[in-house]
Structure 1
Amino acid sequence: MESAVRIQEFDDPNYDPFNSDEINFGDHADPYPLIARWRAEAPVIEGGYRPLMGLPAALYPDRKMFTVVGSREVNEVLTDTDRFSNAGYKFNLGVTFGQGSISTMDNPEHGRWRRIFQKIFLPQYVKKWGETIVDPVVHGLMGKFLPLGRADLIEQFTLRYPFEVIYHQLDLPEEDVRTFQRLALGQTDYVNHEKAIEAGRKLGDYFTALVEERRRDPGDDLVSLLASTEADGEYLPHEVLISFLRQLMNAAGDTTYRGTSILLTALLEHPDQMEAIRADRGLIPQAIEEALRWDGPVAVQMRMAAVDTELAGVAIPAGSLLDVVAGAANRDPEIYSDPDRFDIFRDRKPHFAFSRGPHICVGQHLARVEMTRALHAVLDHLPGLRFDPDEPRPRIQGSMMRVPRHLHVRFGD
């Protein structure tokens, strides 16, 4: 669809949101031994996750903070919505994505608007996107490096394809993809707070104009669907719709890029498991779930105490913020044997990578489809895939959001 709407770049042309990842989310190669020591000492620790990890403090109001690392307590906080609220996200996500973000809401408001998003992201619709949108994007990106016999799968593939998938879903001009991705990533640059505000404002202006255009001339793109879909006779309020579109690139793009990058890195580090998948594509779903458990892209989630309460014997005053470490629960030896080992053949048990409770990720089906299609394409088109011996091995890093920065490979004879 031709669009008269144009996206605005950052005012500072030298600002690069891709360089803010380490500052915002840390560069720890392996935070899990420290997390395991915390969990061995107590399931709930006083203090926020960021300062405990040595990261710059976030821009939260002055209030008590706790870090939750026990798996039972992680599950309790994520599922007990009477005691623990999502309102804590108003201090970060709400500032840039907008206070209409469903991530900042509790029921009944959250459930009312989430039902509309769920109708659009049902598995049967997402599967159709996999065939009509995801596959062409994946093959288009791969076609640029296939003749070379070598690639950086992060820079040339995983960093680009989930964002381009979303851009195709929105049916927008291809020349705007890079600017759109820069603004989307800039929204979570909370160290450079003014840049995050600028990114959220510019994306808000952009989506407002786009929604108005699509309501006048609707298509079958995601913006038109979101603008016209209703649940129980209600349409999405403007602020909720714009906040969701702002957040979509991060929730469905950034996390999928990280998850796919980690999956490919783990399989290359374990060539026997990669070869098992080559021989039996039916192993792909369990490989994806294992990657999400073993080193999920989002290690920490947030909640706020709605009432004075107690957790594992620790008094939690109302209004306190809780950093809920999903990565700790996903590596709890009481749940998973030898949890630090990547093993696609382990007994499958539910993980915490997509959260739990009413706020479980609404885009989880799309994320799985994108990871599945990407892995199929790698297996189909990159025979003999291996690490490039002339380049450094990948290093998965980050304390809160995990990803390798590069994945240099060779393929073919």
Structure 2
Amino acid sequence: MTDLPDDLLTPEAVADPDGAAAVLREHDPVHWSPTHRAWLVTRYDDVVAAFRNPALSSDRVRPLLAQRERPSGDASHRMLGLISEWMVVTDPPAHTRLRRLAGAAFKQQQIAAMEDRIQALVDELVDAFVADGGTDLPADLVAGVAYPLPAIVIAEMLGAPPEDRDRFREWSDELALVAFGAGGDARPDRHERALRGLEEMAEYFRALVARRRRDPGGDMLSAMLGDEGDPDALSDDELVGMCALLLFAGHETTTNAIANAVRLLTADPALRDRVRDDPALVNPAVEEALRLVGPIKVLVRWVVEDHELRGRAIRRGERVYLLLCGANRDPERFADPDVVDLARERATHVAFGRGIHACIGAQLARIETRVAVGTLLRRLPGLRVAGEPEYLPTIASRAQTSLPVVHDAVAAGSRP
């Protein structure tokens, strides 16, 4: 009998989550993991159905708090208390209200209009990256491009001063220590560090909210203020939480999406050059990268009602891990699922979720990834990865610690 992967944090599963998910998908697609005390769901149809199943709740932080017998002053307890108010971990009707009000800042035409600014930022980062080297010795594409880009974009969208960008990146890093699974940092003070970052960030955003209430502008935060007198308008606490969520979710996810897409598309020189030479192929190439090596491997749901799935009794109070990395390579949904197919139908993968909790920033993440990947392939001829990947050992995210690359010589500052 095939040994079933039970622990998603083993070195083997971290290095090859798709392989682990494939074994589960074939032999036990609704698998109880004693290690994680959760059901691991890996088939496409089951994952898509789960997104719309009212028996599975996104309000998954408050139950953890209720289960813990810890003093309110405990750092991890206090941190989870703050995160529990974020839109992504709420259910209707609270989620419906928050999503509607946040949607004012994510209107498609507003996000689409940002593409020129994102292109300018990418060109600036690539200019600096080229000037730093990368021809004879590898240079880290995560540190040089994939990591700073989304932090800059989000800071600008929220109307934060340019000099505060580095603080945004630091706060996002501290939150990542805990929000995407604890495997990446085992230091005993990681919760205290994350809490300090979260509290410092909340104080910063509270001051920014007050400033925007006095002097609203054309930024995203001003758009989320709503109309004066609207009884449903976001409170200051909710605005602070929304800013924190946008920073954290937008930064981590987009960094991973860019880095993973570059690794995938440069692994095959013929594919790399084909996408480089035809701008029309950048978008489908990015969609295939999102499907095959998407930034999020697992989404968590909390069971609020007993039900059955493929003959398994799923009980109230249990957790369900939706393995996006399994669903996006399901051969029952995708022909040749492990192959990059630039003619594949676009909108069927679940890299950004589905239903009411589908990622509200998906369009922005797509634009940033498309612009970054297209520009890198165009401006860095012969771009290729130097070395094997190392991924942070987290349950939820597919995050490379670095991406050392080399490329053929180009003139610094040239923009073909």
- TM-score, length basis structure 1: 0.83
In structure 1, how many angstroms separate the alpha carbons of the residues matched to 2:405 and 2:373? 16
The answer on whether the counterparts of 2:55 and 2:303 sit within 8 Å (CA) in structure 1 is yes
Q: Which residue of 1 aligns with 2:110?
A: 125
Corresponding residue to 1:159 among 128, 134, 147? 147
Deviations, residues 119-156 of structure 1 (Å, cap 9, x unaligned): 22122100112223x12321221221323552421111
Aligned-residue Cα RMSD (Å) equals 2.7
Q: Which residue of 2 aligns with 1:386?
A: 383
Q: Which residue of 1 aligns with 2:4?
A: none
Deviations, residues 257-282 of structure 1 (Å, cap 9, x unaligned): 10011111111112212222222211
The answer on whether the counterparts of 1:184 and 1:250 sit within 8 Å (CA) in structure 2 is yes
Answering whether residue 307 of structure 2 is matched by residue 309 of structure 1, we say: yes
Q: Which residue of 2 aligns with 1:187?
A: 175
Letter in 2 for 1:114: R
Q: Secondary structure in 2 aligned to 1:100?
A: coil
Letter in 2 for 1:209: A
Corresponding residue to 1:271 among 269, 272, 275? 269
Q: Which residue of 2 aligns with 1:360?
A: 358
Corresponding residue to 1:105 among 72, 90, 113? 90
Letter in 2 for 1:143: D
Answering whether residue 128 of structure 2 is matched by residue 144 of structure 1, we say: yes
Deviations, residues 325-373 of structure 1 (Å, cap 9, x unaligned): 1111011111122322333344545011101111000000101111122
In structure 1, how many angstroms separate the alpha carbons of the residues matched to 2:153 and 2:204? 18
In structure 1, how many angstroms separate the alpha carbons of the residues matched to 2:204 and 2:314? 41
Summarize the Cα distance change of 1:232–1:376 in structure 2 as closer, same or farther, 3 Å threshold: farther
Q: Which residue of 2 aligns with 1:402?
A: 398
Q: Which moved more, 1:367-376 or 1:335-344?
A: 335-344
The answer on whether the counterparts of 1:89 and 1:303 sit within 8 Å (CA) in structure 2 is no
Q: Which residue of 1 aligns with 2:26?
A: 40
Q: Which residue of 2 aligns with 1:326?
A: 324
Q: Secondary structure in 2 aligned to 1:166?
A: helix
Stretches of structure 2 that go unaligned for 5 or more consecutive residues are: 1-7, 66-75, 183-189, 411-416
Q: Which residue of 2 aligns with 1:60?
A: none
Q: Which residue of 1 aligns with 2:338?
A: 340
Deviations, residues 169-188 of structure 1 (Å, cap 9, x unaligned): 22323333222211122113
Corresponding residue to 1:371 among 359, 362, 369? 369
Q: Secondary structure in 2 aligned to 1:66?
A: strand
Deviation at 1:293, TM superposition (A): 0.5
Deviation at 1:212, TM superposition (A): 0.7
Q: Which residue of 1 aligns with 2:242?
A: 244
Q: Work out the number of aligned pairs and report it.
A: 374
The answer on whether the counterparts of 1:186 and 1:196 sit within 8 Å (CA) in structure 2 is yes
Letter in 1 for 2:167: T
Deviations, residues 32-86 of structure 1 (Å, cap 9, x unaligned): 22221112222211126xx36xxxxxxxxxxx53221222221121111x21111
Deviations, residues 355-409 of structure 1 (Å, cap 9, x unaligned): 1111000000101111122123224432x23226xx4354566553113322322
Q: Which residue of 2 aligns with 1:226?
A: 224
The answer on whether the counterparts of 1:97 and 1:246 sit within 8 Å (CA) in structure 2 is no
In structure 1, how many angstroms separate the alpha carbons of the residues matched to 2:331 and 2:390? 24
Answering whether residue 38 of structure 2 is matched by residue 65 of structure 1, we say: yes
Summarize the Cα distance change of 1:207–1:32 in structure 2 as closer, same or farther, 3 Å threshold: same
Residues 260-299 of structure 1 correspond to what in structure 2 (within 5 A)? Answer: 260-299=258-297
Q: Which residue of 2 aligns with 1:11?
A: none
The answer on whether the counterparts of 2:298 and 2:321 sit within 8 Å (CA) in structure 1 is yes
Stretches of structure 1 that go unaligned for 5 or more consecutive residues are: 1-21, 53-63
The answer on whether the counterparts of 1:99 and 1:243 sit within 8 Å (CA) in structure 2 is no
Q: Which residue of 1 aligns with 2:16?
A: 30
Deviations, residues 9-53 of structure 1 (Å, cap 9, x unaligned): xxxxxxxxxxxxx999998221222221112222211126xx36x
In structure 1, how many angstroms separate the alpha carbons of the residues matched to 2:205 and 2:9? 28
Deviations, residues 242-264 of structure 1 (Å, cap 9, x unaligned): 11111112211110010011111
Q: Secondary structure in 2 aligned to 1:161?
A: helix
Deviation at 1:118, TM superposition (A): 1.8
In structure 2, how many angstroms separate the alpha carbons of the residues matched to 1:152 and 1:344? 27
In structure 2, how many angstroms separate the alpha carbons of the residues matched to 1:89 and 1:25? 27
In structure 2, how many angstroms separate the alpha carbons of the residues matched to 1:278 and 1:226? 38
In structure 2, how many angstroms separate the alpha carbons of the residues matched to 1:107 and 1:86? 10
Answering whether residue 74 of structure 2 is matched by residue 76 of structure 1, we say: no
Q: Which residue of 1 aligns with 2:166?
A: 178
Q: Secondary structure in 2 aligned to 1:234?
A: coil
The answer on whether the counterparts of 1:97 and 1:187 sit within 8 Å (CA) in structure 2 is no
In structure 2, how many angstroms separate the alpha carbons of the residues matched to 1:336 and 1:396? 26
Deviations, residues 230-250 of structure 1 (Å, cap 9, x unaligned): 898631133322111111122
In structure 1, how many angstroms separate the alpha carbons of the residues matched to 2:309 and 2:222? 44
